[in-house]
Amino acid sequence: MQVSAHVLNLKLAGYRLAVKRHADLETLWAGMLDQSCDAEHKGIPYWAEVWPSSVLLAEHLDRHRQLIRGRLCLEVGCGLGATAILAARLGARVVAVDMEPEALGFARQSAIINNVPDVLWVGMDWKHCGLKRHSFEFIWAGDVLYETGFVLPLAKFLRECLAPGGRIWVSDQERNVSGKAWSTLLSQGFRPREVEGRRVGWFGQNARVRLVELTRG
């Protein structure tokens, strides 16, 4: 079945990006919410939006473009692919993973229309890592701490993927579950350093977002 798509024109860290997504988000959300009744809300299409956390993450990647240029980098839970595409434009060698095939389909289309064809898009559940261990010097993620049940598998995945001396950047919108999710993540042996925290106005949203750098404890 062909999905009706809409191109969202974004400006992230001063760069203009065209991102494809569902044309009718209200219908998508309503349909998926009706199907989703388990505790972890599987199927809710968080991936169908570009969230305020992407703003801080994009700016951080741009500030560190000299660090990531030419380096093998991993984006976890890439969704529609906006920050992965930006990082590739900045010269990083990006592997972007998400468990939602539909999200990856839109991300691939967006990479083509932005003339950034060299992101490797990988369908993967981080509960079952299929990547080479300790391969990535830089890993980042935006808005992946919205379900506490995801956090322990995510921590294991990050440990398996991060190269010795590597860094992880997590940008997260403050929600009710955020405090517990962060506590669980940090209990798994990561050292945190808060890089930035501020309110972000973004497409009608006004959310407090913080960006934290994690290294191995």
What is the model's pLDDT at position 163? 97
Q: How far is CA 209 from the centre of its chain?
A: 14
> In three state form, how does the secondary structure of 25-55 look?
HHHHHHHHHHHCCCCCCCCCCHHHCCCCHHH
CA-CA distances (angstroms) from residue 91 to 10, 34, 87, 161? 20, 41, 7, 20
CATH number at residue 30: 3.40.50.150
Number of domains in the chain: 1
What is the model's pLDDT at position 36? 46
pTM of the model: 0.88
What is the model's pLDDT at position 41? 46
Phi, psi of 90, deg, nearest 5? -80, -5
What is the model's pLDDT at position 18? 95
The token pair at 55 is 């703003």
Burial of 28 per CB tally in 10 Å (0-12, 13-18, 19+): middle
Burial of 78 per CB tally in 10 Å (0-12, 13-18, 19+): buried
Phi-psi region of 152 (alpha: psi -120 to 50; beta: other; left: phi over 0): alpha
What is the model's pLDDT at position 200? 94
Please name the residues in contact with 172: beta carbons below 8 A apart, sequence gap of 6 or more. 53, 142, 143, 144, 145, 178, 182, 209, 210, 211, 212
Alpha-helical segments (H) within 49-100: 53-63, 65-68, 82-89
Give the Cα separation of 214 and 217 in Å (integer).
Answer: 9
Give the pLDDT means over successive 10-residue stretches in the chain (217 positions).
71 95 59 47 66 94 98 96 97 96 94 94 91 96 86 93 97 83 88 95 87 92
Range of the domain at 12: 5-216
